[in-house]
Amino acid sequence: MLKPPVAIVMGSQSDWPTMRHCAETLENLGIEYEARIVSAHRTPERMVDFATNARAEGIKIIIAGAGGAAHLPGMIAAMTPLPVFGVPVRSKALNGLDSLYSIVQMPGGVPVGTLAIGEPGAINAALLAASVLALHDEDLAERLDAHRARQTHSVPQFPSDLE
Ligand code: RP5
């Protein structure tokens, strides 16, 4: 049986409070996904198994979140032709700058689309995945347009003293 089009993977359970924003955004757009813990350092064989089989299993886009020495998105990208979006998770020691640098500075030839640190990056990874899938899915394209319109309408014209 084919897997859902989006796979969310993360290096640790501790990444889930960030990555669940990605999952919620996909859910709001009606996009099926599977979320798994796959660590480049602690479960390297699980990572190889996941990355090498992802395309054959029907996955279309991989979103990988990791923090600190965040090798997961790059290692997965090295083993699959699927698009990989990397989310730098905010780390305790260096506030996510280490995560960002670990993910963003890939060598030419092995791309990872790197998002912002933390929750905004997790949300935007889902929205980017939605944009890619919407290229071949008219219903999803309409849901994405509606999402944008709701966001636009939610922004007031003038600031208020009321919180
Ligand atoms: C990385 O190490 C994970 O992606 C996580 O962000 C970080 C810390 O992991 P834990 O020590 O909280 O499990 O592999």
With the most atoms of ligand 1 within 8 angstroms of its CB, the residue from 8, 15, 37 to mutate is 15
Answer yes or no: is 127 within a domain. Answer: yes
The CATH number of whichever domain residue 46 belongs to comes to 3.40.50.1970
CB 47 within 8 Å of CB 72: yes
Q: Is residue 90 part of a domain?
A: yes
User: What is the model's pLDDT at position 162?
Assistant: 80
**Domain count of the chain?**
1
Residue written as token pair 């963003």:
104
Which of 82, 89, 87 shows the shortest CA–CA distance to 127? 87
Q: Is 117 among the domain residues?
A: yes
State if residue 5 touches ligand 1 by the CB under 6 angstroms criterion. no
Q: How far is the CA of 78 from the centre of ligand 1 (A)?
A: 20
Instruction: Report which ligand 1 atom has the smallest distance to the Cα of 10.
Output: 4
Residue closest via CA to ligand 1's atom 14 equals: 11
Nearest alpha carbon, ligand 1 atom 9: 12
Residue nearest to atom 5 of ligand 1 (CA): 67
The answer to whether the pTM exceeds 0.95 is yes
Is residue 159 domain-resident? Answer: no
Q: Alpha-carbon distance 9 to 45, whole Å?
A: 14
At 96 the pLDDT is 98
- 118 domain-assigned: yes
| 163 within some domain | no
Is 160 a domain residue?
A: no
Residue 161 lies in a domain: no
Walk along the chain (163 residues) and give the pLDDT tens digit of each residue.
Answer: 899 999 999 999 999 999 999 999 999 999 999 999 999 999 999 999 999 999 999 999 999 999 999 999 999 999 999 999 999 999 999 999 999 999 999 999 999 999 999 999 999 999 999 999 999 999 999 999 999 999 999 999 999 998 6
CA–CA separation, 17 and 64 (whole Å):
14
d(CA 14, CA 149) in angstroms, rounded, equals 33
Q: Which domain holds residue 62?
A: 6-153
